[in-house]
Amino acid sequence: LTFAAIDYIAGTYRNKIFVVLLWVCGLAAYFAYLYEFNSEFGDLNCESYTEAAKHFGCQIANGIIHWFMIMLELSIMGTIFICLSSLGNSIYHVSIIASLFGIGAVATFIIVPFAMEFETFFFSTIKQVDQLGMRMIYWISFLLGCTILVMQTVSLLRSIAPS
């Protein structure tokens, strides 16, 4: 048993377009809500170093920490989003509950952050409306999420409709 959106070789996904849209939506949501969020978790205070070599080393260490945090964000949040949102998209296991969980995951990860503004330790949904690119990425993420929700709802209705 694998998650349909991450196991392409086995061909267990019901709809290829759904899988592609799900991954693009996850990437858009990352850029909308996680990428610009500057958490100071793990930052070293480089101002305390007076020697140029130590200051440079501190900046390198901060760069490594920041890239490590990006990797963790993409790995953890991306995996959770893709796996939960793909529930109900398998060709072998048609389950109403799994489809509803998939719909709920997309609504939680995409629709709620678009509709509400809040800040947590890991991400911020406070909109940066002064930048055109950021406004576009918010809307792209939202519209992709709505498209995925429609596709999941249609798939759910097809699975429960009598043949």
pLDDT tens-digit series, residues 84-112: 998 887 777 678 898 899 999 999 999 99
- Residue with structure tokens 């929700």? 149
pTM: 0.78
* Local confidence band at 61 (pLDDT 50, 70, 90 cut-offs): confident
Helix (H/G/I), strand (E/B), else coil: 120: coil
Nearest residue to 136 via CA among 37, 32, 26: 32
pLDDT of residue 1: 47
Instruction: State how far Cα 29 lies from the chain centre.
Output: 5
Close Cβ partners of 102 (under 8 Å, ≥ 6 residues apart): 84, 85, 86, 87, 88, 89, 152
Q: Which residue has the higher pLDDT, 120 or 65?
A: 65
Residue 14 CB-half CA count within 13 A: 18
